[in-house]
Amino acid sequence: MNYLALGDSMSIDDYTGMTGGGAASQFSTLIAADEFQNLTYNGLTTANILVSLDEVAIQPDVITLTATGNDLLQAIMWAGSDQLHDQAVIQPLHRLSEILRHLSRYQ
């Protein structure tokens, strides 16, 4: 079974203080993945995840996705109140649809 992890810092090893301590690495061990490609990085937004799809080098059987936390944080920090709904909700949901459409080819 091949496992692909996509997303933001909710799944990375860096903050755990140990190699293999992040959620994606632990899940890979739990399911005894034959191949594991970890494309989770600190600070990724849904726009970054769309770009990272070009890096997929395996044919995954299982895919996890952690996303939208950084979209929300950036919108709150940088968007004006008239742009907040669009940048925090509408745009990320649109990009999530694109991500899922892309990932559906692995069915």
pTM of this structure: 0.86
Angle at which helices 69-78 and 91-103 cross, to 10° = 160
pLDDT value at residue 1: 97
How many CB atoms are closer than 10 A to CB 1? 12
Q: What is the mean pLDDT of residues 38-51?
A: 94
Q: What is the largest CA-CA distance in the chain?
A: 47
Question: Does 40 have pLDDT greater than 90?
Answer: yes
Residue 106's pLDDT band, with cuts at 50, 70 and 90, is very high
* pLDDT tens per residue across span 68-100: 888 888 777 776 667 777 777 888 999 999 999
DSSP state of 104: G
